[in-house]
Each structure stands twice: as structure tokens, then as C-alpha cells.
Structure 1
Amino acid sequence: MTNMFEIHNNPPGDLWPKDVPRNIDIPEIPLDQMLRNAAEKFPDKIAITYFTSHFTYKKINELVDRLATALLKMGLKPNETVALHFTNTPSCIVSFYAVVRAGGKVTLLSPLFKKLEITYQLRDSEARFYIHWDAFDQINEGAIPDNVEKVIQSSVSPWFSSEPEKEELMDPSGNILYLEDILHNTEPDPTLLASVKVDLNEPCNLQYTGGTTGLPKGAMLTHRNLVSNAYQCRAWFPDAVEGGEVMLVALPLYHIYAQTVAMHLSILIGANMVMVSNPRDTDELLETIVHNKISIFPGVSALYNNLNNYQGIENHDLGSIKFCLCGAGALPFEVQNTFEKMTGAVLREGYGLTEASPVSHAVPLSKYGKAKAGSVGFPFPNTECKIVDLETGTKIVGIGEEGEICVKG
């Protein structure tokens, strides 16, 4: 990375957006409390849109309570790992928050995994529970190691109803354990849920990352890590309207970037999370944006470039998009410039790493912020960084020199 400022954790005042504080207060709460807060503040606001189905924050919170209650009754112990294996579905979000509410930690598997990769992560994470979309049955057959004691399947069909817990049982015999049948058969137990005691410094997400060497390793992200990054993202979107934004969830939810920016941030601000099943299908992506009047679009450069080059794009109204944050790779200036001119939206680049939950830097989205082509912007609020030489790792490099970035916060 190339150093652009003399003072790394204190960029010049004329460049820092004046409506973004350099330091913010971060509440001492477990991650799932953000969902409880949203359900209290925006009970009837749409939390998730899945094709033609809509789920309110009150409903999602209730479903999380049902599943968390069931997991505890099935013997989930504090800090035990529950593996989730989904595409972008409401059941993935409900399962994620239910595990956290029950005092466990999640680990998410890629929908693209093959048998060996499934086995490796289930074994390495020491997962006792494995909740998966039933379409993965053939892929995971013979891949589930002995440490997994409970296998729970999930079907998408009940989620085409806004009350999946009231749909007919997937397997009335009970021979196959279905997530949706668990929701059907389980009432929330407030006393049991209240008995869960969470240490904010304990991991609630074992997020696997390839890194640069060897097999993927699980980064241990705590409640405090994930809550902090959600609030830091909130500060970076000063013009976002609480209870009024529509978030595009096109990035895969097994990735930490999507979890924080598309899921946790949405829940924090009461946004409607609109699920996209296949973001590579530009027809579906475009239809979803236009039909749902997407206002926040976190993505990668390829998604923006695909829209830029879509034949007939000028015949579609993309004026609802206000904010776009590009991560997981560089944002070419040509892609940024074309997309901004086409939509009128603000498209900015960010930077982060899995171990940072993940966002550590971003170019200002604020109307008061200045953008610089090729830059990943400033450190987030409550974040310090420096760029040091590659030889010793101790000497801070000068402006325009390349080095290794060090971040804390």
C-alpha cells in the first residue's frame, strides 16, 4: 500500500468529512441485541425481501427467538460452533442471529464448496451442529465428519410465505430434521433465552479466510468486534435514513464483507434487506434494483462494471441508488466514473480484512468528503493505522512510498 498522508491516523482536517466523527461511542451489547433494538424501534418495517415475500423486523426477531430456543433445548452449549451452509436466503440470516442469541458461534460455508472443503471446515471449526440448504444434500453426502452431532436441513419453499413457521411440516414423520419444522414446533422461551450469558470478548463468528499461506484459517470475531464495525459503518453513512433505506444483498452472505455491510449495518439502521440469489445474472440484479428501488448497494467492481456494460441500461431507472461501497478488490476509475454518471449515486472504495470484521478504511461517502482516485480513503472512526517499511516492519514510510499497512482499533 502507498502512503498518502504524513499523519496516518489523523488525516488533514480539510479532507476529513465534517459530518463524520473521528471517534464514536460504541455500546457494550451482544450482536443480537441490534436485532432486538430494530424489532422494538421498527417492528412493522420490512427487514427482508425475498422475491415476493416480505418479513418484518418483528417477525424476524420472533423467528430468531424460536430457533435460539430450539438450539438451547437441543443442547447447544456456550461458545459451541454451528456451521451454516446457505445461499442468500432469509433462513441464513435467521440462523445466524439465532446461534448468536443462543450463545454459540457461527461459521459459514461457501455455497461453492466441494466435499473436501466442507469436511475440512466442519472438522477444523469443531462444529457440533450443521444447518444447510437441502439442495446441498448431494454435495455434502459423505462429507460430514463425526464431530457433527446434529444435521438440520432447510427448504426454501416455506420462505415464500411471510410466516414460514405456519407452513405445513416438511417431514411430518420427523425422520429428517428441518429448520422450518423446528420453527413450526417451537415457541420462544423468554426465560430460557434470558439465561444465556454472553461475554462480549468471546467469538461469535469463526470466519474462515484463505489468507496467503496454507489452508483457510478461522478468524475469531467477537461480539465487540462485529458490533463495533457495524457502528463504524453507520458513522460512515451519515446521510442514511434509519428505517428508510433499501439494502441490496447481492454479495454472498458467507463472506464477512456482506455480513457486516449488507446484514449487520442493515439491522442497525432498520433497512430492508433485498436478497439476490445470483448476482452474476445481470438481468436479475437489474430487475431487483429497479423493482425494489434499492438505495444502498455494497458490491465489487465486477458488479458495477456489468451494469455499466448492460445493453439497454439507459432504459432503466437507477435513480433510487444513493450510496455504493466497493470492496474485496480495487475499483477502477473508469468503472466508478461511468457508474456515478449513469446513476447519480456516490460510489466509493473501501478496504479491510477478515480479521478486522472487516472494514478498516473507506473513501468518504459523505457529501462533505473528498474522493481521490486509487485511494482506499481514511481509517474508520476509532481506528489507527500506519504504513511501515517491508524490510523491518518498524519504520514509517514517507508520502508516496510503498509499505505494509498496520491497523488497530
Structure 2
Amino acid sequence: MERPWLNYYDPGVPHTIHYPQVALPWFLSQAAQQFPSRACTIYRDRTLSYAQVDALSTHLSRWLCALGLRKGDRVGVVLPNSPQFVITFYAVLRAGGIVVALNPAYRERELAYPITDAGVRMVVGLRQLAGVFTALADYTPLECWILTDDEDLDLLERWAQPLKSNQAAIEGQRELHLSELLGVHPSNEVPLPLLNPEDAAVFQYSGGTTGIPKAAIGLHRNLVANTLQFRHWLVGLREGEEVVLAAIPLFHVYGMVIAMSVGIALSASLVLVPDARDTETVIYNIQKYRATLFPGVPSLYQAINRHPQVLAGKVNLTSVKACISGSAPLLRETKLEFERLTGGRVMEGYGLSEAPTATHCNPMQGENRIGSIGLPLPDVDCRIVNVEDGITPCPVGEPGELIIRGPQVMAGYHQRPEETALTLREGWLYTGDIAYMDTEGYFYLVDRKKDLIKVGGFQVWPREIEEVLSTHPGVKEVAVAGVPHPQKGEMVKAWVVLNPGISLKAEDLKRWCSGHLVRYKVPEEIEFVDILPRTAVGKVLRRELVRIEVEKRQKNSEAG
């Protein structure tokens, strides 16, 4: 098949890569051997070296095995960005387990579904969630949980190899503490299993391409491949010299791979920020530790652009060499301003949990095309196919469904054979995203297939309308979706967040749209809101807006 994108790779980026037959922890082992004293994690100004993280991870992996973890068991990791997340992630993998990383801000009900669906028997989580885990143990497979928080940082920093212990004092307890496990060796050390590249490494919960929450199974070889693809893509970054600002959540596969795994493959120092919305802390860490690689989302870069200290010229961000932007469209103004502030490159990319994590990115040195998700990574093949039949190739420039084939594509969905068969067909991952390719092989997202709005037989893509509304000087953020309409089937509705101090009416924005869009694409309703619901990595939840709207209309109908 033709691959025009290969002609636009940066010099030094290979068209194909040799992937070693290793499991994901190999990168941590290599970094610990080559750079043992280099800072691996930096968190709240506390540092752990690569040798420390490697040893702590190995120690915890032995305890997990001693506590009954067997190869293929799923382990919940319910932690924010912290040294404990990194240590636990690699400990679970070394013990042969499968990481089920979950948002520590989740409530009991939100944790219950993935714990039950994945069959999670063991969790490592925040100490403040002890009561939640106790309650979950009554009606989910959860049997024991290991607790930790920032109080353990002192112990982690001064940790030394502990002595053998009486394991019986710990065995059988449902609630354990990381601090007590780090203080002693298990008395009956179970040998760590041999890991195979074909073993499952992560279950990443996602709405997927069909909208039902399910676990995408990422194999060790999938994550190794994507780590190396980006390691080669980021030309100019040097092993043992870089600093990664890890503010995007590590419990999301984007942060897990691009910030943590790629960072460790670079033997970089990971500066861990537990809350990316804390712009003050993000800026502090960039400046103090001279961050060079900063994966993020557009709202994060924009928040920095607009921070009062940045606007006053009191912040130095010039250490940043490269930013990978994903999860939401990157506006031209956001990209150009952040590049002006840093002198680095902001490269829009694309990925999904089903190909953990990325498949496309704009070049580090070559042309970055505004609005494009960039070029397919090495060893990634792409096609744009007809939305209706899923087979017929679309001409260059014509939108269709983006399908992908590559070494990072998942094995399937856990216990979802029908959804797996719909999504994986003859080696191709059907993404559910509508995109097109230009003549040089740059790809552009149009919208999600499932977000398509049909107005009186016409197809309307929400993203097109969002882009028009976002160019209005009074609009800060916008989301567009289709809501039920008794005559038309669906109508276009927009939810708009205005810039501070701006006053607008719905009719003002409708007139704005009329100057850029055909009549049936102009929103029939525009609602002004204070905030848009988002995922942990900043993606607007259109479906949540629609759900709230439908419930509101039902109540009004019943009241009427």
C-alpha cells in the first residue's frame, strides 16, 4: 500500500523498527543499570533515583506474589501521579499481574464496575480510600488492598534492603500498608514469573469505539512497541539528559505510555504533578527542574498561556523542547503562543486506548500542519474507508472512518468478543473516528463516528461547528452535540463558556455561525454554561451534556 507519509519523516526517524522480545519493565531495568544514581521520580521536591525505584519495585513485586498474586491476575492501581504509582505499576508487571489503573477521584460506584468486570482481587490505592475498599469487598471480587499516601515519602527516600520477616503476621489481612511491606521481606519468597511479550500488561477502561465501558487489553509487546515508536520519533532528545513534566494522569494510558514509559526509556527524570489543573504547581516544576518534554492536552497549555505570571513575563519556560498534545483539538492560537513562550515544538498527535496509546504525531523538526494529527508513526499503516461499508477506500481528501494496523494495536476487549469482532477486523483496528488524509500523508480528524448528528437527512459533524464558534472572540470553550427533536430526529445544540467579562446572547452566536456555515449546521439552541464536563485528560464529555439535556426535557414534558 502507498505510504506518502514516509517522505515527511524527520531525518533519523526509521520507517520500521526492530522490537526486542522483552516485557515492559525491561526499560526500567536498563535505566537502573545505566543511570543508577540519576533521579527517576521527582515529587513535591523529593527525589528517588533509578536504582531506588528499581529496587522498591522489585521488592513490592515479591510481596505481591507472596500475598497470592498469580500470573494473569488483575491488580487495581488507584493512585495519582506519585512515586508510588511508578513503583506499583512496575511491581505489578514484574509479578506477572495486569495493571488496571483507575482514577483515585472515583467514588465507590465508579470503582465497582471495573473492579467487578476485570475481576480485580487486589488493589494498591490511597489511604483515604480505605473505607471505599472495605465497602467494595462486600460485593465485588476485591479481597485485599494495600494503602499509601504522601506520609510514606520519607520511608521511600531512606529505604534500604529490609530483613526477613514472619510473613504470617501479614498474611490473611485484608487491609495492608505499603509502609509495612517495605519494612520487611516476605519469609517465603515466591520466585518472580518469566514474562512473555505476548502477556497482557494493562486493562485500560474506555468507552472504546462502541461507547460501552470495557477493558482494552494491552500486551507487553504493544506497550514496548509504542514506547520505542515515540522514542525514535522524538529526535534530538538524549538518554540520561531529559526531564519529563508528568502532569497528565498516569492512570490514563496517554500519561502511562508517553510520560512514564517513554520517559523511562529515555532514562529521564519524571517530575510528577498529581493535579494538572494546579497551573501554579505545573509552572513551578517546569521552571525549577528545567522540564524538556511536556506531554499534555490543549486546555493545559492554554491555562499556562493565560496564567497571570506568564502574561506578566515573570516565567521562564524556555527549557521545554517538545510537547505532545492529544485528547482534544489543538487550536492554532494555543500552539503558537506556547511555542513562542518556550521556543519548543508543540506537536499535535492522536491515539486511543485500543492502540496504547498513540498512532500519529506531527514531526519534531519537520512541518507541523495546523489542525492535523500528523503522520502515522513507524510501522503504522492507515486507511480511510467508507463509513457505511467499512471497506471501500476513500479518495485522498475525502472523509471516512480511520482504520489502523500496527504493532501497538490491542489484543481485544476483555470478555467482549462481539465488540472485539466489530473493532478488530482482519488485522485492522476500526477507530470509530472520521478523518481524511491529504496528498502528503498528513491526517486530519473530522469527528467521532458516534457523534455524527443527522438533521433532516443531512450529516453534521459537531467539531466543525465547535471550530467556528471557538473563533468568536467572546467564546472561551464550546461543545456541540445532537439532541432529540420530534420532527427532525435530531437538532444541533451548543454549550458555550464565555470569556470573563463578556456578555453575549444566543442570537449573536447564531449570526456568527450563519456567516460561516450552511443553515442546517447552525445550532438551533445555544446554552451558556460556566464549565464543560471533561474526562481526566481534558476531553469534553459530549454524551454527558446530551444525557443531562434529555433528562431535563423529560422532566419538562412530564411537568407539562
- TM, length-normalised to structure 2: 0.68
Distance 1:398 1:164, change over 3 A: farther
Identify the residue that residue 352 of structure 1 maps to in structure 2.
351
Equivalent residue of 1:265, what SS? helix
CA 1:392–1:405 in 2, change beyond 3 Å: closer, same or farther? same
Structure richer in strand, relative to its length: 2
1:406 is matched with which residue? Answer: 403
Query: What does residue 4 of structure 1 align with?
Result: none
What SS does structure 2 have at the residue aligned with 1:192?
coil
**Secondary structure in 1 matching 2:36:** coil
Question: Which residue of the other structure, out of 50, 56, 65, is the alignment partner of 2:49?
Answer: 56
In 2, Cα distance between equivalents of 1:222 and 1:89: 24
- What SS class does the counterpart of residue 219 from structure 1 fall into? strand
Distance 1:388 1:215, change over 3 A: closer
Q: Pairwise mapping of residues 4-403 of structure 1 onto structure 2 (< 5 A)?
A: 9-11=3-5, 13=7, 15-144=8-137, 145-160=139-154, 162-163=156-157, 165=159, 176-186=175-185, 192-193=191-192, 196-211=193-208, 213=210, 215-313=212-310, 314-365=313-364, 367=365, 369-403=366-400
Q: Which one-letter code corresponds to 2:74 in the other structure?
A: T
1:168-194 CA distances to partner (integer Å, 9 max, x unpaired)? 9xxxx967410121111127999823x
Query: Secondary structure at the residue paired with 1:59?
Result: helix
The aligned amino acid for 1:353 is: L
Query: Closer, same or farther in 2 for the Cα pair 1:137/1:150, shift >3 Å?
Result: closer
Q: Normalization by structure 1: what TM-score?
A: 0.92
Tell whether the 8 Å contact from 1:364 to 1:377 is kept in structure 2 after alignment: yes
SS of residue in 2 equivalent to 1:254: coil
- Alpha-carbon spacing, 1:189–1:61, altered in 2? closer, same or farther (3 Å): farther
Q: CA deviation at 1:143?
A: 2.6
- What is the distance in 1 between the residues matched to 2:268 and 2:317? 18
Question: Offset at 1:389?
Answer: 1.3
Residues 84 and 10 of structure 1, relative CA distance in 2, 3 Å threshold: same
Verify the 8 A CA contact 1:362 1:376 in the aligned structure 2: yes
1:302-341 CA-partner distances (Å, limit 9, x unpaired): 0000011111312111111110000111111110011111
* Whole-angstrom distance in 1 between the partners of 2:333 and 2:283: 20
CA distance in 1, matches of 2:298, 2:61: 37
8 A contact 1:158–1:164 mirrored in 2: no
Q: Could you tell me whether the CA contact under 8 Å between 1:20 and 1:238 is conserved in 2?
A: yes
Q: Give per-residue Cα distances to partners, 1:249-284, cap 9 Å, x unaligned.
A: 100111000000000001111000001122111111
**What secondary structure sits across from 1:106 in the alignment?**
strand
2: CA distance between counterparts of 1:374 and 1:82? 38
Q: Give the count of matched residue pairs.
A: 394
Letter in 2 for 1:380: L
> 1:309 and 1:243 mapped to 2: Cα distance?
32
- Which residue does 1:3 correspond to in 2? none
Q: Secondary structure at the match of 2:338?
A: helix
- Indicate the SS of the match to 1:11: helix
Alpha-carbon distance in structure 2 between the residues aligned to 1:177 and 1:125: 22
Using the TM superposition, give the Cα deviation of residue 146 of structure 1 relative to its aligned residue in structure 2, in angstroms: 4.1
Query: In the aligned structure 2, how far is the partner of 1:302 from the partner of 1:84?
Result: 26
Match of 2:525 in 1: none
Output the CA distance in 1 between the equivalents of 2:103 and 2:190. Answer: 35
Q: What is the distance in 1 between the residues matched to 2:211 and 2:232?
A: 36
After superposition, give the CA deviation of every residue in 1:158-177 in whole Å (9 maximum; x if it has no partner): 21455354699xxxx96741
SS at match of 1:283: helix
Q: Is the 8 A contact 1:83 1:109 kept in 2?
A: yes
CA contact under 8 A between 1:293 and 1:321: conserved in structure 2? yes
Q: Are 1:9 and 1:386, in contact at CA under 8 Å, matched by a contact in 2?
A: no
- State the AA in 2 paired with 1:333: R
Q: CA deviation at 1:214?
A: 5.0
Aligned equivalents of 2:224, 2:188: Cα separation in 1: 25
Query: CA separation in 2, counterparts of 1:264 and 1:321?
Result: 19
Quote how far apart the aligned CAs of 1:9 are: 3.2
Give the stretch that moved more between structures: 144-153 or 258-267: 144-153
Equivalent residue of 2:307, what SS?
coil
- Check whether the contact 1:9–1:383 (CA below 8 A) recurs between aligned residues: no
Q: 1:395 to 1:213 in 2, by over 3 A?
A: closer
The answer on whether the counterparts of 2:197 and 2:220 sit within 8 Å (CA) in structure 1 is yes
Q: For the structure 1 residues 79 and 59, does the alpha-carbon distance in structure 2 shift closer, same or farther, using more than 3 Å as the test?
A: same
For 1:288 and 1:110, the matched residues in 2 are separated by: 23
Amino acid at match of 1:385: C
Deviations 1:364-385 (A, max 9, x none): 11x2x11111111111011111
CA contact (8 A) 1:66 1:187 kept: no
- For the Cα contact (< 8 Å) 2:66–2:189, is it kept in 1? no
Shift of 1:408: 0.7
The residue identity in structure 1 corresponding to 2:182 is L
Q: 1:188 to 1:309 in 2, by over 3 A?
A: farther
1:292 and 1:82 map into 2 onto residues whose CA distance is: 32
| Alignment gaps of 5+ in structure 2 | 163-168, 407-560
Looking at both structures, which has the greater relative contact order when contacts are Cα pairs under 8 Å and sequence separation is at least 6?
Answer: 1
Q: CA deviation at 1:229?
A: 0.4
Residue range with higher mean Cα deviation, 258-267 or 209-218 = 209-218
Pick closer, same or farther for the CA change 1:348–1:230 going to 2, 3 Å: same
2:131 and 2:338 map into 1 onto residues whose CA distance is: 40
The amino acid across from 1:181 in the alignment is E
Bigger shift: residues 55-64 or 136-145: 136-145
SS of alignment partner, residue 205 of structure 1: strand
Amino acid at match of 1:346: R
Larger Rg: 2
- Distance change >3 Å, CA 377–CA 8, structure 1 → 2: farther
